Structure 1
Amino acid sequence: MSETTTECFAVSIENNIAHIRLNRPEKRNAMSRAFWSELPEIVNRIDREAQARVIVLSSTGPHFTSGLDVSAFASPEISGDGDDADADARRKARLSAGQTFYQNVLGMQESFSALEKCRIPVLAAIQGGCIGGGVDLTTACDMRYCTEDAFFTIYETKIGMTADVGTFPRIVKILPEGVVREMAYTGRRMMAAEAKDVGLVNRVFATQDEMLDAVMDIAREIAANAPLAVAGCKRLINYSRDHSTADALDYIAIWNASHLQTEEIMEAMTANAEKREGNFAPLPPKRTIGAA
């Protein structure tokens, strides 16, 4: 097993499963500045180098994450005092601040989109609070599992913000619109049992250890399948979610016309008949543009 740590994460890879853990429990795993660069770097590297067939995303401590570390992004206030030259400088600073904020948000959105765009399924294992940006993060994953004490809250509303890093474009495709509106307008907590009832999470477990054991079992079951077939499923499910039925049917036909591997089908059938693990072609590393 290989294991590395960064400022915000601990990453281990074993038996084709990459385990990424949020690793700042003393800060309730708040999302600091480093978080937003480290997460896509880790996910993109695993995907690019085909280091694993499944990613499990979990956390440490009593809470999954308290969301954005607002203190790390605080900016000094622009004073209203001064002469005309200062006023002009303040005006320019305000205009620049708006553009800077916009670019920062786009970058943060891409950090979570990396989970959705990677070819590998991502399973989120959630304990305790999944607050604010935690909802953005977990809705970008393929599946979500949680403990009985888990809760989800679009907390940005409570602090005078509108969630902007990915919650709404994704959660409205998971939950009924009325449920999303209630969560967003009130900022209330959705507890684990309700999250399971409305389809936000797949399963609920009594403890974090029980949850992680079960999620790892699911990850092993996914990893035992042909990587190219699983990657195709993820790509086509995402495409089907975002396009019309007619477009998705055409895309699926084109995809299989170019990607369907008869050898993989035969190996899967033979392995099942012989009750052994399949000897499948690995997911190929991604090629960099211009590489030989």
Structure 2
Amino acid sequence: MTSPMTSAAVQELQSLRLLQERPRVLHLQLHRPGKRNALDLRCWRELVQVFRDIAQDPECRAVLISGAGAAFTAGIDLAELGSLLAALPAQDAARRAWALRRHILEFQQSFSAMERCPKPVIAAVHGPCIGAGVDLISACDIRFCSQDAYFQVKEVDMGLAADVGTLQRLPKIVGSQSLVNELAFTARIMRAPEALSCGLVSRVLPDKAALLEVALEVAEAIAARSPVAVQGTKVNLLYSRDRPVSEGLQHVATWNMAMLQTEDIPKSVQAALDKKGPEDVPFAKL
């Protein structure tokens, strides 16, 4: 069945493209290939709206995000960033600061909306993933890349500290504060083998075609499982990431006092007894 997200409203997207290539899986492309998918102001706004809509789409159970053309993303569109800074109110420093803070918080929401979306999000990275691209993939649940991919926390080279998620999320992904500090202080490039060894990505594929095929297969495997189970798992993983183990255990106990009553459990058990896979179970929409 076609997802509501592939309706006419989605066709109005300009910096993004949304496709449905597998059942219950949406494929979101950064779609400014002529600009190496640099994130313009329209793209930041579209990301928020798309992921808010996906969160409410009962047909969608998993999302793949990739880049059109030869790059995943070159990061924020510097020309548009310059225009934004130039348009700050010509008032005293305090008022300019408040206006700038509002813009930063709006940018942060673009990736936080992706993280908060209960549907798992897989990033498929090929070529350069620079600056805001690292912020973006840090908000994804699963990250794969091609052999030609490279990653760069570029902000210090532009004279600023990264401010839309990398400094907060990346240390919890790679598990080495020293490595994160090195990357953030020096803006050095991290290539695919190192990204795999440090845990930034969990698979490296030979090329973009193989990358997208494997990422879509994983998304399809996720979408075949109970949406109650998968989305509950994501919610609890995120909740527990930022809290002590004891609080996470309390939260999942409260969560499952309701969710263990789902019809998906007896359906899944019966399928296992019948030697069937989850893809054979007609789970209801969520």
The normalised TM-score by structure 1 is 0.89
- The residue aligned with 2:44 is 36
Separation in structure 2 between the aligned mates of residue 40 and residue 51 of structure 1, nearest angstrom: 19
Report the counterpart of residue 77 of structure 2 in structure 1. Answer: 69
Deviation at 1:93, TM superposition (A): 4.1
Q: 1-side partners of 2:219 and 2:200: how far apart?
A: 19
What's the CA shift for 1:262? 4.7
**Aligned Cα RMSD in Å?**
1.6
Corresponding letter in the other structure for 2:36: R
Shift of 1:96: 2.0
1:281 is displaced (CA, Å) by: 2.3
Displacement of 1:278: 1.0
| 1:58 alignment counterpart | 66
Aligned length: 272
Structure 2 counterpart of 1:76, one-letter code: A
Give unmatched runs, 5+ long, in structure 2.
none
Q: Does structure 1 residue 10 correspond to structure 2 residue 20?
A: no
Q: Distance in 2 between matches of 1:197 and 1:109?
A: 28
* CA–CA separation in structure 1 for the residues paired with 2:114 and 2:199: 20
CA distance in 1, matches of 2:86, 2:101: 17
Matched, 1:121 2:120: yes
1:56-93 deviations in Å (ceiling 9; x for gaps): 00111111000011211223399xxxxxxxxxx95x34
* Equivalent position of 1:102 in the other structure: 101
Partner residue of 1:81? none
Q: Quick check: which has more Rg, 1 or 2? A: 1
Residues 1:151 and 2:154 are matched in the alignment? no
Distance 2:262 2:34 in 1: 51
**Residue 261 (structure 1) shift:** 2.7
Residues 1:259 and 2:235 are matched in the alignment:
no
**Matching residue of 1:289:** none
1:172 is paired with a residue whose SS is: helix
2:58 aligned counterpart, secondary structure? coil
Deviation at 1:46, TM superposition (A): 1.3
Structure 1 stretch 129-138 or stretch 252-261: which is displaced more?
A: 252-261
Alignment partner of 2:122: what SS?
strand
Instruction: Give the Å deviation of 1:280.
Output: 1.3
SS in structure 2 of the partner of residue 173 of structure 1: helix
- Report the AA paired with residue 7 of structure 1: Q
Specify which of 8, 28, 36 is matched with residue 20 of structure 1.
Answer: 28
Q: Percent identity?
A: 36
Gaps of 5+ in 1: 79-88, 284-292
Deviation of 1:270 after TM superposition, in Å, equals 1.6
SS at match of 2:172: coil
1:139 paired residue number: 138
Partners of 1:97 and 1:169 in 2: CA distance: 25
Alpha-carbon spacing, 1:40–1:77, altered in 2? closer, same or farther (3 Å): closer
Q: Which has the larger displacement, 56-65 or 258-267?
A: 258-267
Q: Contact conserved, 1:228 with 1:282, CA < 8 A, in 2?
A: no
